[in-house]
A and B are shown apart, each in its own frame.
Chain A
């Protein structure tokens, strides 16, 4: 059974820091991996999707990398801003069924 882990569960940093969020998964046979952002009481916003054949994806200040063989992904946030404060979730798609298996998320607080 696929399990997705995100450590730490919460992180508080001052504005301007470069951040690395970690995600690990137990079964490396994935189809793709997706990073989401969730604001309090809201739905999920897709940030980046990495196919299993890709190593990384970039969008603005965000860069996500994937090392499928080691079961790890990182989300890099450059020059963090208070508006980046949210919970970040990592999810893997095993393929075929398109079902997403989520981690518990990491709550990020960026202090001005």
Chain B
């Protein structure tokens, strides 16, 4: 069964450093989402792509976060510089119709 792939699974970094996360959606899924999940909370959407275009990035802290999906397939989420409050699980999901399929996530710890 096809799955959403994410890497790395875990990342520890110091504040003010740059970090990047990668996501490979299920083949054929045009819509890709990045969510952030703080411990004990539900995921919150950071950015949504339809093919290579950004559909919604209203909750993305654009002063430090950037996301791209250059060829409309895999995607990269970057944080620069990282802050202590960025410690969270970063989840990628993809969909073709209504059901969103989630990857295993990248757990980020900023020290």
Contacts and interface: CB of A to CB of B under 8 A. Distances in A.
Asked if A pairs with B, the answer is yes
Interface in B1-32: 4, 6, 31
Given A89-B42, A97-B48, A104-B42, A49 B98 contact: yes
Given A89-B42, A104-B41, A98 B104 contact: no
A34 interface: yes
A44 B99 contact: no
Contact of A46 (B89, B99, B105): B99
Interface in B61-84: none
A98 B95 contact: yes
Given A98-B31, A98-B95, A43 B100 contact: no
A36 B11 CA distance: 25
Contacts of A42: 104-105
Interface residues of B, number: 26
Contacts of A45: 102
A24 to B, nearest CB: 14
For the complex, would chain B's binding face be called helix, strand, loop or mixed by DSSP majority? strand
Interface residues of A, number: 24
A4 to B, nearest CB: 7
A99 B48 contact: yes
B110 interface: no
B40 interface: yes
Interface in A5-62: 31-32, 34, 36, 41-46, 49, 51
B69 to A, nearest CB: 16
Interface string B22-65: 00000000010100000011111100100000011000000000
Interface string A86-112: 000101010001111011110000000
7 contacts: A32-B98, A34-B100, A43-B91, A51-B98, A97-B48, A99-B48, A100-B100
